[in-house]
């Protein structure tokens, strides 16, 4: 969390400087960006002081919403995300984004395989074929 807040603080400071250089230091957007960067800095300071006082808390396992199939991509994504958060380096925006992109790529590969299977072997999917015929006739 400290690493993530630190990265957020850096990005917010860069954004505030960029806005300030384009719109001027007195512009309301510049003041808002500076306030946001300051708020992130304060949160980072509080997290650091809290971490210094306490042992790192255990990260609770992901509790999936009711009705979500255990094979749903969200389970695997959250398990990987939580496992990475438990490592000494923690998790960053980039690593979370990378994990999500891996899940998306895996989903697209599976989707393309399923589509090829349906086109090649439509007799294996009678429910879908009958729905498609009904939709085409209406």
User: Considering the chain, what is the average pLDDT of its residues?
Assistant: 78
pLDDT(112) > 90: yes
Q: How confident is the model at residue 65 (pLDDT cuts 50, 70, 90)?
A: low
Average pLDDT over residues 89-107: 87
| Selected residue with higher pLDDT from 115 and 60 | 115
pLDDT at 55 over 60: no
Query: Which of 71, 105, 100 lies closest to 84 in space, CA to CA?
Result: 100
**Span of 57-71, 76-90, 124-138 with lowest mean pLDDT:** 57-71
Whole-model pTM: value is 0.45
Say if residue 122's pLDDT is above 80.
yes
| DSSP letter for each residue of the chain | -HHHHHHHHHHHHHHHHHHHHHH-TTSHHHHHHHHHHHHHHHHHHHHHHHHHHSPPPPPPPP-PPTT--TTSHHHHHHHHHHHHHHSTT---HHHHHHHHHHHHHHHHHHHHHHHHHHHH-GGG-HHHHHHHHHHHH-
**Which whole number is the average pLDDT over 82-102?**
85
Residue 17: closest CA among 40, 1, 2, 37: 37
């Amino acid at each position: 969390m400290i690493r993530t807040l630190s990265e957020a603080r850096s990005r917010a400071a860069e954004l505030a400087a960029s806005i300030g250089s384009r719109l001027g230091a007195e512009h309301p957007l510049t003041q808002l960006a500076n306030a946001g960067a300051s708020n992130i800095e304060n949160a980072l300071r509080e997290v650091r002081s809290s971490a210094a006082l306490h042992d790192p808390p255990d990260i609770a396992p992901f509790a999936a919403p009711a009705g979500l199939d255990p094979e749903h991509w969200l389970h695997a994504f959250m398990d990987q995300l939580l496992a990475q958060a438990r490592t000494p380096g923690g998790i960053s925006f980039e690593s979370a984004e990378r994990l999500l992109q891996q899940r998306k790529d895996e989903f697209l590969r599976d989707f393309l395989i399923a589509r090829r299977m349906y086109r090649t072997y439509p007799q294996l999917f009678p429910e879908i074929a009958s729905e498609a015929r009904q939709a085409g006739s209406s």
